[in-house]
Amino acid sequence: MRWNKISDAVIRRLPLYLRVLDELANESDTALISSQELGVKAGVGPALVRKDLAWFGEFGKQGVGYDVGFLRNELRKILNLEQELTVALVGVGSLGEALVRYHLKRYADNDSFNLRLVALFDSDPAKVGTLVEGIPVMSLEDIPRIVEEEQIKIVVVAVPADGAQDVANRFIRAGVKCILNYAPVKLTTPDTVQVASVDLSLELQRLAYYIPKHPN
């Protein structure tokens, strides 16, 4: 498996670098960037920037830096962003709707991120058949057929905690290998499936560490 070779901590930082390069490419004529500057903008130390990128090849020149356009293209290739990213979302409650309206639909306009939200699913028969931002909501029974037809690569799970494992299993059985989980529960999945979790409670507990002990 490819993902056993390079640490996920490295992979997590690549989108941060790509975002910096996207901004540079859109906003200015900067042709070169040093690892120092890339690190500062991405919030990563310069030595770590060089180490991370070295996993994938020789992208920069000593004392010259990285070519912005070239490195951007290479990162997009490494992250599979040159292909169309077909995404489904399950759970069209208030969270799911917000993710569709304010996030997933926005990315469709982003030229360095070829995302297409192709399907929505919900277990509530009253929602099935309705449209959210022009995308029809389908029944959970339709998952295998739609995953196959639309070649869905990533599913965003936005259902309540007690339904998350069941819907994840349905997508895994249908062949989906990447899950972005917003439900506040840890999913049990085979090793061949990659899960990213967005967990408010973990983020809050981490932030709590930084609360000043002695406020002024």
Q: What is the token pair recorded at 88? A: 């489904």
Choose one: 6-14, 119-127, 139-147, 166-174; the region binding a copy of itself (CB under 8 A): 6-14
25 vs 11: CA distance, rounded Å: 21
Residues 133-162 that bind a copy of itself (CB under 8 A): 153-154, 156, 160
User: Scanning residues 180 to 209, which ones bind a copy of itself (CB under 8 A)?
Assistant: 180, 184, 186, 194, 196, 198, 200-209
- What is the C-alpha to C-alpha distance for residues 13 and 85, in angstroms, rounded to an integer? 19
Asked if 28 interacts with a copy of itself (CB under 8 A), we say: no
Which residue, 61 or 77, has its beta carbon nearer to a copy of itself?
Answer: 77
List residues binding a copy of itself (CB under 8 A): 2-3, 8-9, 11-12, 14-16, 18-19, 78-81, 83, 85, 87, 93-95, 97-99, 101-104, 106-107, 110, 113, 115, 153-154, 156, 160, 175, 177-180, 184, 186, 194, 196, 198, 200-213, 215
